[in-house]
Amino acid sequence: MLDGASARISGRPTADGDFRFTVTATDASGATGQANYTLSVLSTNFVFSPSAGALQDAMVGEDYSSRISVTGGVGELVYSVKSGDLPKGMVLNISTGEPTGPIADDATPDDYRFTIAVVDSRGASGSAAYTLRLKGRAVTVPDIVVDVPAGSTPKNVYLNSGATGGPFVSAAIASVTPPNAGKAEIIEGELAAAGSFTPVGYYLRFTPNPSYSGSAVIGYTLQSALGTSNVGRVTYRVALDRVAAGEEIDGLVRDFVRTRQNLLSSTVKVPGLLDRRKAAVSTDPVTTAVTPSERGARLGFSSSLAQSQAARDAADVAAAGETFVMTNRPFDIWMNGSFLFHKDEDDKSDKWDNFGLFSVGADYLVNDGMLVGLSFHYDHMTGPTDEDAELKGNGWVAGPYASFEIGKGVFLDANLLYGGSSNDIDTGIFHGSFDTSRWMADVKLTGEWQMDEMTVLTPKLRAVYFTEETEDYSVSNSLGETIDLKGFIEEQARFSVGFDVERTLGLENGLTLSPSIGADIGFASLDGEGLFGRISAGLALSNNDNWNIDFLTAV
C-alpha cells in the first residue's frame, strides 16, 4: 500500500510478476504532478522433486540418470551445483537438473553430498540438498514386467538394458515359474528383433503355453569378466487365450479317444467255435502270452471252464495211461485279460501309455456248428503326452455275440457291443472330466486248414466299425477360469486280412515245440489311423500234460 503522507510503499505481495502504477502528488497550493512506476515481485516459492535426501544409487563405470525437477519461478530455470561434489564423471545438466553419467572407471565409491541450486529469469533462487551412494562396479541385472494380451506373443526382452558390469559374455535361464507356463530361451544380437537397428546383447524369448494365464516368472543371469550377476526376474502377466487353450485341450482329448478306439478294436476278443474246440483239447488251464514289440509290450492271459476241465481231464487220463477223448460241454464261462504299455515313436519322454482290458462272458453251444453268448469288457487307459498332460479313463462295453461254422473249417464270428466311459484330463494347468458313449460291431471270417500232419494255416478276414460320442464338457484352472468345449464323434471302420501258420514238432522226452508266424495288414478309415500292419513270430514249448511256455514277438 502507498502511505499518502510519506509516499512509502509497504505490504506483502500475494502474487509474482510486474505491476505498473501511477503516483500523483499535490502540494499546498493545489498544484499536482504524477509519475509512472513498475514494481517487479520475484517468487521464492520453488518446489524441488525429489524435495531433498537420497537419490538412487550409482555405480562406478556405469551410466547414470536421475532427474531433478523444479516448479515455481518465472521464465527459464538454470540449475547448478551450489556446494559439495558429484562423483567423478557425473555432470549436472544446467537446463533439466538431471545428474548424468557415465561415471568414471576410477571414481571413488563413497557417499556423496551436494546442494543443487536453481535460478529463474528474474534472479529468484532456491536450493535443495541431496546425497548419492556410489557403489563399486559389479554385475547386476534388474527386474522387468511385461504384459501379454490374450492371443499375443511377447516381444523379446533386451536383458542388457539396465544391467551393470558389462560387457557381457553370456546369459542363462535360471528358472521358469511355474515350469508349465511356457518355453524360455536366450538369443543374441541381431537375431532378437526384426528392424533397422537391434542393440547388440542378450535377449529373452518367451513363448507362453497356449493354456496358461497368470504370472510367469523367468529368472535369468548375465555374466561378464567381473563375474555372474544376481538372478533377475522377468515377470510376464499373461492373459488367457481361450481359443488357443480350447483348441489344445480338444486336440488332446480327441487323440486320447482315437488311440483308445484303436486299442479296443484290436484287443477286444470273444471266443468263437474255433476257440471252443481248441479249449476242449487244451492241456493247460490258463493260456498266457507275452508279446514284445518295437515300442512296448503286451501281456495277456485267458481261461475258461471248458479249458480248465479239459486240462484236468487230460492230466487224469495221462496219469491213468489212457487215451484222451475230447468232450464238448454246452455251457461255458470264460475270461481273458490284456495289459499293454507303449509309447509313440515320436515321443522323446520317458513316459508310457498304459492300456488294460479285462473281459468275461458266458456262451452256449447250440450245436456243433453254432454258438451264442454274452460278453462284458472293462478297460482302463492312462495316456501321458509330450505337453506333460495326463488323460485317464475307465470304460466298458457289453453285448451279444455268435459264431457259426459256415463251411468245413470256415467260421463266421459276429459281436455287437454297447458301452461308455468316464475320463479325466489334467494338462497341469486345466483340469476337467468328460464322458463318452460307444458302439462297436465286429465281424470276422476265420479258417483252419490242415496243410499237412504238422502244419496248420489260419487265414483271417475281419471288419470292425467303432463309433464313440464325447459329450460337451468343461475344464477350469486354479484361477477359476473355465473353458466350455463342444463334444464330438470319433468313428472308424477297420478292415484287415491276415494269416497265422503253426507247425508242431515232437521232441524227445515227450516235449512238443510249436513255432508260428503270422501277418496282418489293414486299413482304418474315417477317423482311424490309416494303414496298419503286424508281423509276428512265436514259439511254444509244452509236455502236453500240465505245462507250456509261450513267447510271441510282433512288429
What string of H, E and C letters represents the secondary structure of 367-379?
ECCEEEEEEEEEE
CA dist 177 → 155, 386, 428 (Å): 19, 19, 13
Task: Check residue 393 and give its pLDDT.
Answer: 96
Dist. CA 200–CA 178, nearest whole Å: 30
Task: Check residue 158 and give its pLDDT.
Answer: 94
- Residues in CB range of 99: below 8 A, 6 or more apart: 55, 64, 65, 66, 68, 86, 90, 91, 92, 93, 132
Contacts 24+ apart (CB under 8 A), 499-506: 499/457, 499/458, 499/459, 499/460, 500/457, 500/458, 500/460, 501/451, 501/455, 501/456, 501/457, 501/458, 502/455, 502/456, 502/458, 503/454, 503/455, 503/456, 504/454, 504/455, 504/456, 505/454
CA dist 66 → 100, 162, 194, 514 (Å): 7, 13, 31, 89
Candidates 333, 331, 327; CA nearest to 277 is 327
Candidates 64, 126, 114; CA nearest to 89 is 64
R_g of the chain computed on alpha carbons:
44
Given the DSSP bridges, would you call strands 455-470 and 449-450 parallel, antiparallel or unpaired? Answer: antiparallel
Task: Check residue 533 and give its pLDDT.
Answer: 80
Task: Check residue 262 and give its pLDDT.
Answer: 87
Task: Check residue 474 and give its pLDDT.
Answer: 97
Helix (H, G, I), strand (E, B) or coil at 519: strand
Give per-residue burial for 469-493: e unless 16+ CB within 10 Å, then b. Answer: bbeebebebeeeeebebeebebbbb
Task: Check residue 552 and give its pLDDT.
Answer: 56
Task: Check residue 156 and give its pLDDT.
Answer: 93
**Predicted TM-score (pTM) above 0.85:** no
CA dist 364 → 75, 132, 278, 360, 369 (Å): 110, 97, 16, 14, 12
Helices (H), 120-237: none
Residues of the chain with pLDDT under 70: 1-7, 12-18, 40-44, 190-198, 293-295, 315-327, 342-351, 385-387, 508-510, 527-528, 541-555
Task: Check residue 192 and give its pLDDT.
Answer: 46
